[in-house]
Amino acid sequence: MNILEEIVANKRDEVAAFKTARPMGELESAARRRGRAPDFVAALHSVPMGLIAEVKRRSPSAGPIREPFDAKTIAMAYENAGAQAVSVLMDRKFFGGGEDDFRDVRSAVALPLLYKEFIVDEWQIWHAASLGASAALLIAAVLDDARLRDFVELCREARIEPLVEVHDEREMTRVAALPVRCIGVNNRDLKTFRISLETTIRLKPLAPKECTVVSESGIRSAGDVARLKAEGVHAVLVGESLLRQGAIEKAVKDLMTL
């Protein structure tokens, strides 16, 4: 079993317990009472190159990333530095995230928030909407065509943007056939955790022209950002390289100097 399969297997068990504790109907009602969250795609296009800055405590490959860790302080630094959106990790076992971090970030900033999770069940989409997410990550590698299409439609019903993540040509072809506005290309192979920006550069031409393309993982310098922008990428998702810097605001500004 590779790390992705292990995470997904654990997630199915985790969500089953969550559904017992908090019925989906309760989340749906809470989501429908909320006002519409800030527009995720519009925010990314408000500048020449959008930044989704990530709140992430740890990862299976890197271990703890920043200590001490305060989700509110980090999110406010991102907003002050000019980020267009904030991504919040929801997986607790492997990434140390969860609902508490999401609520802390939501209370601290006005930016669109991405519910970054391994979504395997409708419950998670309504959970995202109930928390005030503007977007939710859908990973093509863990969803078959029928589930992926259903989840895209459910995101629309829940008034959140599906950011559909791909890793290779086959997944991009699958996702390009769906009515999506935003595609993320993960430069990290979720089976081996190897990283290469060439993944985005190779897959970007296969995305529908009208789609917003986000490059994810392995972006460490202003040179990386400039290279991706030159290839027509619209936004980058960056966490670890920012979180490892002492002064986060300066790190964001240095990274996004085009």
Q: How is the chain split into domains, by residue range?
A: 3-255
Active site residue 210: no
Q: Residue 10: name the closest of 1, 59, 87 by CA.
A: 1
Active site residue 186: yes
Which pLDDT score is estimated for 194? 83
Q: d(Cα 6, Cα 14) in Å, to the nearest integer?
A: 12
Question: Do 57 and 97 contact (CB within 8 A), yes or no?
Answer: yes
Per-residue pLDDT of the chain (258 residues; tens, 9 = 90+): 788 899 999 999 999 999 999 999 999 999 999 988 999 999 999 999 999 999 999 988 889 999 999 999 999 999 999 999 999 999 999 999 999 999 999 999 999 999 999 999 999 999 999 999 999 999 999 999 999 999 999 999 999 999 999 999 999 999 999 999 999 999 987 667 789 999 999 999 999 999 999 999 999 999 999 999 999 999 999 999 999 999 999 999 999 997
Class for domain 3-255, per CATH?
alpha beta
Which residue in 54, 79, 117, 161 is the catalytic one? 54
Which residue in 56, 187, 215, 240 is the catalytic one? 56
**Reported pTM:** 0.96
Which residue in 186, 187, 204, 240 is the catalytic one? 186
Which residue in 28, 122, 165, 171 is the catalytic one? 165
Which residue in 11, 116, 122, 204 is the catalytic one? 116
Active site residue 79: no
Active site residue 80: no
Q: d(Cα 229, Cα 246) in Å, to the nearest integer?
A: 26
What is the identity of the amino acid at 110? A
Which residue in 28, 117, 161, 216 is the catalytic one? 216
Active site residue 14: no
Active site residue 93: no
Active site residue 216: yes
